[in-house]
Amino acid sequence: MHSHQLALQAQNKDFVHTFFCGVAKIGGGAVTYKILYECIPSLEVLDSDSMVMRVVLRFLTAAGINTGSSMEIQTLDKHLSKTSNRLYETYEYSILKVLSHEEAMRLSETATVLSCFKGEQLIEHGEQADSMFLVSEGSLEVKIPDKNEQMITVATLWPGDCVGEMSLLTGAPRSADVFAKTDTVLVEIKKDNIAPILESNPRLINDISDLLAKRQAHSASAASNAGKDDLREQSKGLAKKILQFFFKKKA
């Protein structure tokens, strides 16, 4: 098979030229793509990586290529740790997107990368915990019992998705069982990891609470029925729980 070049037109003024995606290697049941691009000098490496990843994912999806399997976007910055890379690849798609790049880098210094084999249970319903997981590679299945106590899958989580955020932020017990649908790589963030960041920037508590309130309303299919006042009250309630869990304050 001949290596072919596919021009990807980046719809962003930060790119100096069109960048190219070409097949670099085929073997072992996998196709490796090589991506070359050029950005304006003032754009940070991590910002450009994020934009390239989004464009490439849109391109592969449009081409009908399954990206649910193991997929890793590698950075050229050799000074970043593996944890930093994985956190930067996923945090902007989770509730952590309210963090700045500097705060995300700080968080990556204490976060942990872990792996789960296909079928392995990651989370057990009802257990007490204070961490959440970001999916970096692979996929997870979220299961709950139906009225007949039979376990049913209610969600599949892909790279960029997160699970366990309520336990991380409020100490709430786990609300579902979660299993690895495929071999999976995750970034685990614990209460002790994020507490210093929330303490140094308390405004993040309100930002995260607003985002959680909107997501919960959407998950409950009530987004169209919930008014601004309802979401505001729900956000205030979440912010109060977060404050009490992290700082033992009576909001």
What is the pLDDT at residue 66?
63
pLDDT of residue 72: 47
Provide CB contacts within 8 A for 185, sequence distance 6+. Answer: 70, 86, 113, 114, 115, 135, 136, 137, 138
What structural domains and CATH numbers belong to the chain?
5-67 (no CATH), 98-191 (2.60.120.10), 202-251 (no CATH)
- pLDDT, position 228: 63
Each residue of 53-68: pLDDT tens digit? 666 665 565 455 666 5
At residue 99's C-alpha, the angle toward residues 95 and 102, to 5°, is 145
pLDDT digit string, tens, across residues 130-163: 999 999 888 999 999 888 888 999 999 988 889 9
The partner residues of 39 in beta bridges, in order of sequence, read 15
Q: Which residues of the chain have pLDDT under 50?
A: 1-18, 62, 69-79, 222-224, 250-251
